């Protein structure tokens, strides 16, 4: 891997893909340029209304967390010396062979995990004690993987044995171990700042030598549930510093949207946009201890 000080400023790049939030470019030397947009996704739709500064916040948080987790797993970040038009919202990263699994760590029961539990008493095939409710802290953090669906399609929870079938037992064991180790360290850091990290999603790739590397974004309000610890109360939906605020508005009567209709969600009103931006900034400031500017 090249020394960071030797990485030249990028001037030539080619667009190769766009996801729900990020745009991916390839540089002339084979490195990748990850650009975080202000797009927001919910319920597998890209919403028509951007959130100002969102891409910059996601990028700054990922960079900070990569540093915090450096002793847990290597990561794909090489440089932040990016083209001026992407300043503050992009990272130059290694090109990896991405592992086609969404690596989800859950310390608390909510979201799709709660739906699974209410139907079966299990999450991703893992039996849980009876009597748990929305927001219950789990006896221990769980590795609950899901498929990595293409844009516009739904991720589906899968079992560890499904992962082993897809990528092999050794690779499955590695991503499970790294997912839970990264979650445990991040959960401890967040708790020390008055925030509960309820769950989060990681992605991993492999270098040519087989090394498993933490990739994509890490521990942002897009990929994680952050709850204020002083308002935590199991048995109800928790206040949050993430896009759950937008999900809640979309499923409320105020939006006029029927999730089961097959129609795309409506535009977000100005007050929801402003509040969402405030929540993302508050998450950044409380977690990192840095002032947003």
Quote the tokens at residue 245.
């605020």
Quote the tokens at residue 61.
């948080």
Is residue 194 within 8 Å of 228, Cβ to Cβ? yes
206-to-94, 119, 172, 199, 223 alpha-carbon distances in Å: 10, 35, 12, 24, 21
Nearest 5°: phi and psi at 199? -160, 165
Residue 213 is inside which H or E element, if any? Answer: strand 212-215
Residue 270 is inside which H or E element, if any? Answer: helix 270-288
Q: Partners of 196 in the beta sheet?
A: 227
Look up the CATH architecture of domain 97-241: 2-Layer Sandwich (3.30)
- The counts of H helices and E strands in the chain are 6, 16
- Per-residue tens of pLDDT for the chain, all 293 residues: 333 333 344 458 899 999 889 999 999 999 999 999 999 999 889 999 999 999 999 999 999 999 999 999 999 999 999 999 999 999 999 999 999 999 999 999 999 899 999 999 999 889 999 999 999 999 999 999 998 766 556 678 888 999 999 999 999 999 999 999 999 999 999 999 999 999 999 999 999 999 999 999 999 999 999 999 999 999 999 999 888 889 999 999 999 999 999 999 999 999 999 999 999 999 999 999 999 98
| DSSP-based three-state secondary structure for 173 | helix
- What is the Cα–Cα distance from 266 to 259, expressed in whole angstroms? 11
- What is the Cα–Cα distance from 256 to 266, expressed in whole angstroms? 8
DSSP string, 239-269: P-SSTHHHHHHHTSGGG---GGG-PPPPPPP
115-to-68, 104, 132, 180, 240 alpha-carbon distances in Å: 32, 15, 12, 22, 19
- What is the Cα–Cα distance from 151 to 19, expressed in whole angstroms? 6
- What is the Cα–Cα distance from 110 to 237, expressed in whole angstroms? 8
Domain boundaries, the chain: 4-93, 97-241
The fold of 4-93 is Phosphorylase Kinase; domain 1 (3.30.200)
| DSSP-based three-state secondary structure for 167 | helix
The pTM assigned to this predicted structure is 0.90
């Amino acid at each position: 891997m090249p020394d960071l000080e030797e990485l030249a400023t990028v001037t030539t790049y080619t667009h190769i893909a766009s996801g729900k939030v990020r745009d991916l470019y390839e540089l002339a030397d084979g490195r990748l340029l990850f650009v975080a947009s202000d797009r927001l996704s919910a319920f597998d739709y890209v919403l028509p209304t951007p959130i100002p500064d969102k891409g910059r916040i996601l990028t700054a948080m990922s960079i900070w967390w990569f540093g915090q987790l450096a002793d847990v797993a290597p990561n794909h970040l090489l440089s932040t010396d990016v083209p001026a038009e992407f300043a503050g919202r992009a990272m130059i990263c290694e090109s990896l062979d991405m592992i086609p699994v969404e690596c989800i760590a859950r310390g608390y029961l909510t979201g799709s995990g709660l739906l699974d539990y209410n139907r079966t008493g299990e999450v991703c095939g893992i039996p849980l004690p009876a009597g748990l409710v929305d927001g219950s802290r789990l006896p221990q953090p769980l590795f609950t993987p899901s498929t990595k669906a293409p844009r516009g399609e739904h991720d589906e929870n899968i079992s560890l044995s499904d992962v082993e079938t897809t990528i092999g037992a050794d690779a499955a064991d590695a991503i499970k171990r790294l997912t839970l180790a990264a979650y445990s360290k991040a959960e401890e850091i967040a708790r020390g700042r008055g925030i509960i990290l309820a769950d989060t999603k990681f992605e991993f790739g492999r270098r040519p030598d087989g090394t498993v590397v933490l990739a994509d974004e890490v521990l942002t309000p897009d990929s994680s549930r952050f709850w204020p610890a002083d308002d935590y109360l199991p048995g109800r939906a928790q206040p949050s510093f993430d896009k759950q605020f937008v999900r809640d508005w979309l499923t409320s009567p105020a939006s006029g949207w029927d999730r089961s209709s097959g129609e795309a969600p409506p535009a977000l009103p100005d007050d929801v946009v402003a509040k969402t931006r405030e929540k993302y900034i508050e998450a950044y400031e409380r977690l990192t201890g840095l002032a947003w500017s």
